[in-house]
Amino acid sequence: MTLKLICSLSLFFSTSLFSQSDGEIIDKIVAQVGDNIILLSDIEAQKQQAIVAGITTAMSMDCEVLEELMYQELLINQAKLDSLIVTDEQVDSEMENRLRVLEQQIGSREKMESFYGKTVGQIKEEFRPIIKEKLLAEEMERTITLNLSVTPKEVQDFYRTIPTDSIPLINSQLSFQQIVHYPEITKTDKSAAFEKLEGIRENILGGKSFDTQARIHSMDPGSAPLGGKIEGSRGMMVPPFEAAVFSLTVGQVSDVFETTYGYHIVKLLDRKGDDYSCQHILIVPEFNGSELEKSIITMDSCYALLSSKKITWEEAVTRFSNDEMTKQNKGIITNPITGEQTWDMEDLNQVDQQIFLLTDALEKGDFSSPNMYVNIYDRKQGIRMVRLMGRTEPHKANLKEDYALIKRAAENDKKQRIINDWINLKIGNAFIRIDPSYQNCPFKNKWIKK
């Protein structure tokens, strides 16, 4: 984890420094960039976050953290001079993302409020200006490196500068394609799901416990064990769900409504501004046996045609797949962790272990026989074939096999050089003051004017 990432992650981590013996505050200003000050507690907060992330800290880390914080303040100072704009919508979106991460780490919104001793609304108000400045800094950095690109020669030159003993070892990388056929959900299937949920709703209105009905019947694996309980804020859920939540009064149960996930009912437990707590039951329309049999027959036909080489893989994808995420891309399965087409074993184990089991014994270009499949995104069931598109052996990074990886490293190196040039240019025009206790730091840039 990089120092820059640690500084970003520690937005909500605050540390107050007090002497335990006499209560004397020992926090102090350690640097100033323009009108913005950096406190000793700011540095300590970053170090504490590094410890939480499992990083060993050392004395030199104080200097590294201070330099990163001064860089952030320099970006903010320049963004304000250049009148860069960050909208309220951007701030709200970033705020919700960070609160969601915190909520997952702590356990719930109630636990988060208890931990900070503040309501969610108060937390938002306190950190809104901090988030806005962070987004300003990011926008300024994007502006600085807007036209960044590297030529093939620059990639080659960068690779040659890497010491032989520092060239990274690349684990085995795999790439896959798939053909998936999902059984059709008929109008009859949808009607059956709707009617089932309508009956559950009537039972609840008749006095049965929503909590119990959710645990027994809800097909939402995340909330069902909790009695259907969900805590959220406006913007977290799909529009039809939020429309239902914000139309209810506390204690009221909604009518049955539909989203892309299936049919829902919601009971509002509490609402404060944009924040709400509710209970929820989801019933997903399920295909009947005859539709599943049709999909099996379809995929058996596909397998036979491919095995006899009567059609190509690309033709088979176009003809037989009804998976929206891969059909238009020759069936290539994108790694959701990296956004790339290659996978390592760690990613496979996190996302789709079945792929490895299906393809471990295959050679490049071979494909599996049809198997049952459950889509990890929306839990849809279907029949799938997987093709091993490529497999590399563990090796030292080289330009032939790992050009994209080395190109990204070259871009990052060039980006850092552009940023360093910008920092040293702007330092000369900015008011910068550094506490004497930090003036001997081995800064990478010339923050201390001679």
**Gap between the Cα atoms of 128 and 145, Å rounded:** 26
The one-letter code for the residue type at 436 is P
Rounded to 5 degrees, φ, ψ at 377 are -85, -45
Query: Is the Cβ–Cβ distance between 141 and 419 less than 8 Å?
Result: yes
Query: Is the Cβ–Cβ distance between 144 and 426 less than 8 Å?
Result: no
| DSSP 8-state secondary structure symbol assigned to residue 147 | T
Residue that has been written with the tokens 């004395």 in this structure:
59
pLDDT at 3: 46
The one-letter code for the residue type at 398 is N
**What is the b/e burial string over 90-105, where b = at least 16 CB atoms within 10 angstroms of the residue's CB?**
ebbebbbebbeebbee
pLDDT at 450: 64
**Gap between the Cα atoms of 426 and 417, Å rounded:** 14
Model pTM? Answer: 0.59
| DSSP 8-state secondary structure symbol assigned to residue 244 | H
List the chain residues with pLDDT less than 70. 1-26, 52-54, 56-59, 450
pLDDT at 15: 35
Residue that has been written with the tokens 């684990």 in this structure:
171
Beta strands in 207-315 (DSSP E): 229-233, 257-259, 262-272, 275-283
Tokens of residue 165, six digits: 């003993």
What are the C-alpha distances in Å from 387 to residues 123, 180, 322, 369? 49, 12, 16, 10
Query: Under 8 Å CB-to-CB from 397, ≥6 apart: which residues?
Result: 167, 168, 169, 170, 405, 406
Q: Helix 120-144 vs helix 60-81: angle between axes, to the nearest 10 degrees?
A: 80
Q: Domains in the chain, start-ordered, CATH in brackets?
A: 3-83+145-150+409-438 (no CATH), 174-184+288-396 (3.10.50.40), 187-283 (3.10.50.40)
pLDDT at 93: 82
Residue that has been written with the tokens 């994209």 in this structure:
404
pLDDT at 57: 65
pLDDT at 59: 66
Strand partners, 275: 233, 272
pLDDT at 233: 80
Burial class (CB in 10 A: 0-12, 13-18, 19+), 199: exposed
Query: Under 8 Å CB-to-CB from 341, ≥6 apart: which residues?
Result: 175, 332, 333, 334, 335, 389
pLDDT in tens, 9-41: 444 444 333 333 344 446 899 999 988 899 998
